[in-house]
Amino acid sequence: MKRKLAALMTMTMALSSMAVVPAMADNDEEPYVCKIVCVGDATTEACDAVAEAASEILLEKYNIEIELVRLGYGTFYNEVNLMLSSGEKLDLIPNFAFNTMTAVNTGQILELDDLLDEYGQGIKEIVSEGEWNCVTFDGSIFAVPNNKEKAQGFGIAMRKDMLDAVDFDLDTIETEEDLEALYAAIKEEFPDVYPLASDQGQMGYHMIERDDLGGDYGVIINPSTAEEAVVVNYYETEEYQEMVKRHYDWAQKGYILPDATNHTEDAGTLIGAGKCFAYYTNTKPGIESEWERKTGVEMVVKEIVSPFQTTSGVSNQWYIAYQSEDPAKAMQVLNEIYTNPDLSNLLINGIEGEHYVKNDDGTISYPEGVDSANTTYSSVAWVWPNELITTPWSADGADVWELTDEFNKSANESIALGFTWDNANVLNEITACNNVKAKYENALNCGMIDPEEALPKMIEELKSAGLEAIIEEKQAQLDDWMAGKAEE
Amino acid sequence: MKKSIIKRIKSKKRFFPLYLMLLPGMVYLFINNYIPMGGIIIAFKQYNYRKGIFGSAWNGLKNFVFLFKTNDAWIITRNTLCYNLVFIILGTTAAIAVSILLSEIRKERAKKTYQVVILLPYLISIVVVSYIVYGFLSSEYGCMNHLLPWLGGDKVMWYSTPTYWPVILVIVNLWKNIGYNTVLYYATLIGIDPSYYEAAVVDGATRWQRIRYITIPSLIPTISILTLMAISKIFYSDFGLFYQVPMNSGPLIDVTNTIDTYVYRGLMETSNIGMSAAAGVYQSVVGFVLVVAANWIVGRFDKESTLF
């Protein structure tokens, strides 16, 4: 029996090697196939075409072929998690929807220090020391930060036609409170419109400068001007309490969509349909045209919180998956994407003539008959490693990347910039707190429930769920980090 | 002695085709339900993708702690158990009543129509159901909030008023699942030997007496098996019903949070495989204990009606 089996195996091996030999004859080494899974809508055909063109660039230089898969925003996280747990072929992934610390703790991604030293020189030249700190865990670098806007400001995005109709002086707006007069004017002019929209049932942007220190409760308020790094419970801060009281009051007055938490439409759709007037947004160069693409109408963005830089602000990164068969080659690809404008253009914007055409002023736009809704390869620049070396879209303006650079330089740094948070010791508390948060936070943010009553209850329940232990742990880690920083 | 063995082999032979027919189902069950049980191990590990299931470090019972640690532990257990108990009791009663009514309908055509109509909701996806409910309860456009003022009542902000939701969820569940259970009971009903009824009619039994003394006793084994199966799942909740139908509305969480939704909400952001596995193990173990106990109790009254 054993002999038979052995004979059979030898035969299979002989046969299979025979099949391989002719293919290898004209090349000493089979090209390595590097599989990139990225987020955003694109057809399989378009991905294959882009991958083929990208392979042409990389084959010559590194003998590498690209396999490209793009997944929808809603499915990306689950599908990539499945790939990671099944161990199927995977090399490069963006951190979209992934928490880097969790990915490090569960061994989903590789440490990159040696790879960067050897194959990632181009990346090392662009990324600053401070940014590397934001992706360093236990002394090792685990991710490559994207080169894009690295700070965030907050503001409000409004429909231009409605704003013009009420003739409101935007210079009077300095805080969120100042918006009340504008909302009142809009409500009077357009009684059927709810001035403030919600985004998929949430209101995530708050006009409060804060550093969430990597997530999971415990923030620093006004981190760019704070003198001491004190972790506080965000929900107990005066800023938050005032905001939810204001929102509740506004909801009563009809300034916020009723049942805001149950609307599954995103803010862009609600505003585009004329049901709402405005929604809060992050700010960066080109943000107005981003909103115009989302809503389909002319928009005006007014900045309320000026840009500041936090560890979470270095939020877009790329990983090498733990199961990569050749991490060195994966790093070579990543380095090439980071430094080669042709390759980056291809991966971000697709194929010239099919997905975009070049204009005379050095920008690109959609070809005849193609738009953001029907293109087969959607352009999501910020998710890719280096958007700053690509050709800008005409809607963003030819100088958008220079403006981005200025924006980055002008931003104030958080006192805790570079601190990374490890939640492994307080996972039980976080799970319990997440449930309390789910119960209250959305409804409070959207003004659906009375904060006089609900907020103290929420704080009390968070505390009994272990919030204080989380904040203590975070403060301890932060103190250690600050001490280490002072020594340097 | 010898004779009995021969007899046994003979009977085996006679039933051989039936065993053969059983095989695909058994293989399916083995692959789908037994092999994955090895995954229970993950519940006791600090899972690391790179090290795999067996290589990851042991974690003792640490993964289970989060299920019991909070004040919510009591609420989610209460919700899961109470809702399921109500569903079992009301669902069974209603399904039996409807199947008896169905069997009393003489016209074939009407009978078929009713069957289809009550089965239809069972086939609708829960996401669609949640929007049908939203159509009734939306505070702005919902039909309830138009009906109530017309009847002289006040508008209700349904999605932020927990009081009504236990009733709403029970109604939705009943509406959605009654069709399926009715079909099961109805199948048993039409299998009852008609001669019983004929004899009863000759003896002058009224229609009610026929139902009381023939139909219901014949249904008992089906009732008990279906109930036992439901009890084995009493620690699981219909995720769609408790998450989608209330539209994940925060203010309703006290009355809509069950073990499944708690685990989902808690682990959505941390995505800890070990902790989710722990929740699954906990539910299965409790379900297993409950079903064995319930089966034993049923067995004390009537051996025929037990599951195993």
Give the number of other CB atoms < 10 A from CB of residue B266. Answer: 28
Q: Provide CB contacts within 8 A for B100, sequence distance 6+.
A: B189, B211, B215
Residue A279 has pLDDT above 90, yes or no: yes
Where do the domains of chain A lie? 32-149+313-391
Residue A307 has pLDDT above 80, yes or no: yes
Six token digits for residue A435: 């449930």
For residue A416, is it left (φ>0), alpha (ψ between -120 and 50) or beta? alpha
Q: State the smallest CA–CA distance between residue A448 and chain B in angstroms.
A: 8
How does B210-236 read in b/e, with b if 16+ C-beta sit within 10 Å? beeebbeeebeebbbbbbbebbbbbbb
Model-level pTM greater than 0.90? no
Residue percentage of chain B with pLDDT more than 90: 38
At residue B178, the pLDDT reads 93
- Residue B299, Cβ density class (10 Å: 0-12 exposed, 13-18 middle, ≥19 buried): middle
Q: How far apart are CA A117 and CA B152, in angstroms?
A: 76
Residues of A in contact with B269 (CB under 8 A): 99, 215-216, 430, 434
Residue A184 has pLDDT above 60, yes or no: yes
Give the number of other CB atoms < 10 A from CB of residue B19. Answer: 10
Identify the sign of the CA torsion B65, B70, B75, B76. Answer: negative
CA distances from A395 to A153, A291, A297, A356, A398 (A): 21, 11, 13, 13, 9
Six token digits for residue B279: 């929740």
Kindly report the backbone phi and psi dihedral angles of residue B212, in degrees, each rounded to the nearest multiple of 5, phi listed first: -65, -40
Q: Which residues of B touch A (CB under 8 A)?
A: 47-51, 65-66, 69-72, 134, 138-140, 157, 159-160, 247-251, 253-254, 257, 262, 265-273, 275
Q: Are B213 and B200 in contact (CB under 8 A)?
A: yes
Position A251 confidence tier, pLDDT thresholds 50, 70, 90:
very high
CA distances from B200 to A292, A325, B204 (A): 78, 77, 6
Residues of B in contact with A216 (CB under 8 A): 269
At residue A19, the pLDDT reads 42
Q: Kindly provide the residue ranges of all beta strands, DSSP E only, lying in A273-374, ordered along the sequence.
A: 276-283, 299-309, 317-320, 357-358, 364-365
- Choose between B11 and A329: higher pLDDT: A329
Kindly report the backbone phi and psi dihedral angles of residue B45, in degrees, each rounded to the nearest multiple of 5, phi listed first: -125, 155
Give the number of other CB atoms < 10 A from CB of residue B244. Answer: 18
Query: Which of A86, A81, A92, A145 is closest to A386 using CA atoms?
Result: A145
Q: Closest chain A residue to B254 measured between Cα atoms?
A: A439
For residue A331, is it left (φ>0), alpha (ψ between -120 and 50) or beta? alpha
> Residue B70 in 3-state DSSP?
coil
- Choose between B273 and A316: higher pLDDT: A316
Across A363-379, average pLDDT? 86
At residue B51, the pLDDT reads 84
Query: Which of A483, A352, A419, A385 is closest to A127 using CA atoms?
Result: A385
Q: State the smallest CA–CA distance between residue B176 and chain A in angstroms.
A: 22
Q: State the smallest CA–CA distance between residue A129 and chain B in angstroms.
A: 28
Q: Provide CB contacts within 8 A for A460, sequence distance 6+.
A: none
Q: How far apart are CA A50 and CA A66, in angstroms?
A: 9
Residue percentage of chain A with pLDDT more than 70: 94
Q: How far apart are CA B272 and CA B279, in angstroms?
A: 11
Position A183 confidence tier, pLDDT thresholds 50, 70, 90:
very high
pLDDT, tens only, B224-241? 888 888 888 888 888 999
Range A32-149+313-391 classified under CATH 3.40.190.10: yes
Angle of helix A327-339 versus helix A341-349 axis, rounded to 10: 90
Residues of B in contact with A443 (CB under 8 A): 160, 249-251
Task: Give the gyration radius of chain A's Cα atoms.
Answer: 25
Q: Closest chain A residue to B70 measured between Cα atoms?
A: A465
Residues of B in contact with A101 (CB under 8 A): none
At residue B269, the pLDDT reads 67
Residues of A in contact with B248 (CB under 8 A): 201, 438
Q: What angle do CA B292, B293, B296 make, to 5 degrees?
A: 85
Q: Kindly provide the residue ranges of all beta strands, DSSP E only, lying in A76-117, ordered along the sequence.
A: 92-94
Q: What is the ipTM metric for this complex?
A: 0.74
Output the average pLDDT for chain B.
Answer: 88
Q: Which amino acid is at A461?
A: E
Answer yes or no: do B251 and A435 touch at CB < 8 A.
no
Kindly report the backbone phi and psi dihedral angles of residue A352, in degrees, each rounded to the nearest multiple of 5, phi listed first: -65, 140
User: Shortest CB distance from B71 goes to which of A102, A441, A464?
Assistant: A464
Query: Which of B145, B128, B127 is closest to B136 using CA atoms?
Result: B145
DSSP secondary structure code for residue A377 in this structure: B
Q: How far apart are CA B56 and CA B46, in angstroms?
A: 6
CA distances from A455 to A220, A366, A449, A450, B272 (A): 20, 48, 9, 8, 29
Distance of CA A227 to the CA centre of its chain: 29
**Which residue do the tokens 């990208």 mark?**
A54
Q: Are A100 and A137 in contact (CB under 8 A)?
A: yes
Output the average pLDDT for chain A.
Answer: 87
Give the number of other CB atoms < 10 A from CB of residue A71. Answer: 20
Q: Closest chain A residue to B255 measured between Cα atoms?
A: A439
DSSP secondary structure code for residue B241 in this structure: I
CA distances from B28 to A13, B31, B32, B135, B281 (A): 33, 5, 6, 40, 21
Residues of A in contact with B266 (CB under 8 A): 430-432, 434-435
Which residue segments constitute the domains of chain B, with CATH numbers given?
52-305 (1.10.3720.10)
At residue A179, the pLDDT reads 92
A276-283/A357-358 β-pairing: unpaired
Query: Which of B89, B87, B103 is closest to B218 using CA atoms?
Result: B103
At residue B2, the pLDDT reads 64
Beta-carbon-side half-sphere exposure of residue A40 (alpha carbons within 13 Å): 25
Q: How far apart are CA A321 and CA A332, in angstroms?
A: 14
Answer yes or no: do A108 and B47 touch at CB < 8 A.
no
Six token digits for residue B262: 């708690």
Across A92-121, average pLDDT? 90
User: Shortest CB distance from B266 goes to which of A322, A434, A441?
Assistant: A434
Give the number of other CB atoms < 10 A from CB of residue A212. Answer: 18
At residue A149, the pLDDT reads 87
Residues of B in contact with A427 (CB under 8 A): 66, 270, 272, 275
Answer yes or no: do B265 and A464 touch at CB < 8 A.
no
Residue B154 has pLDDT above 50, yes or no: yes
pLDDT, tens only, A7-53? 444 444 444 444 444 344 345 678 999 999 999 888 999 999 999 99
**Could you tell me how many helices (H) and strands (E) chain B has, helices first?**
15, 2
Task: Give the gyration radius of chain B's Cα atoms.
Answer: 24
Answer yes or no: do A84 and B49 touch at CB < 8 A.
yes
Answer yes or no: do A435 and B51 touch at CB < 8 A.
no
Position A129 confidence tier, pLDDT thresholds 50, 70, 90:
confident
- Choose between A99 and B128: higher pLDDT: B128
> Residue A293 in 3-state DSSP?
helix
